[in-house]
Structure 1
Amino acid sequence: MAQSDLNQALQHIRSKNIPLTPQRYALLEYLYTRDSYTTVKDICDALNERYPHINATSVYSSLHVFKQLGLVRELAVNDTFLRYEAAICS
């Protein structure tokens, strides 16, 4: 199921002519294979081995794009702490 949702998300990005860098792909893959909310720090930690130059700023930037496309949901905890999850395309 996660792979199908990931494929739909990728198709949606391509249909909007948004550049899909390897880092953005890895970020989407990470989100769409998790079954709970995650933080930017968790994302950076998970992707850092494969992409050592990834940082919170680039992750936030990609999450903003994904959120505008409806591919990611954002949850504010205590109005300051943000968590993210895939917006499953059922």
Structure 2
Amino acid sequence: MIINGHEYTKEEIFEALKMKGFTLLPFIYQDQEAAFMGGVDFFEVTTKCAVKGYDLPALKNTWDKVALKEFEKTNTTKPPLI
């Protein structure tokens, strides 16, 4: 995963999230994709969620979304050249 222009492994991100007080919990959900003849196929996705406190695992707190929210630095102002 790339954060702030640098590539990190899953293990590095998991360790950093744990150091920030997150607990990583398994999370399984169903997703869908278009199938032949206009049908829909459902398939199971297994991932981990990074939660704190009384948060429950959900699609909004999968480990990759939380990592981007916690570690990505968004500088909206233009830095000076000098």
TM-score in terms of structure 1 length = 0.33
Indicate the structure whose relative CO is greater, using CA pairs within 8 Å and at least 6 residues apart. Answer: 1
Q: Which has the higher helix share?
A: 1
Q: Which has the higher strand share?
A: 2
Q: Which has the larger radius of gyration?
A: 2
TM-score in terms of structure 2 length = 0.36
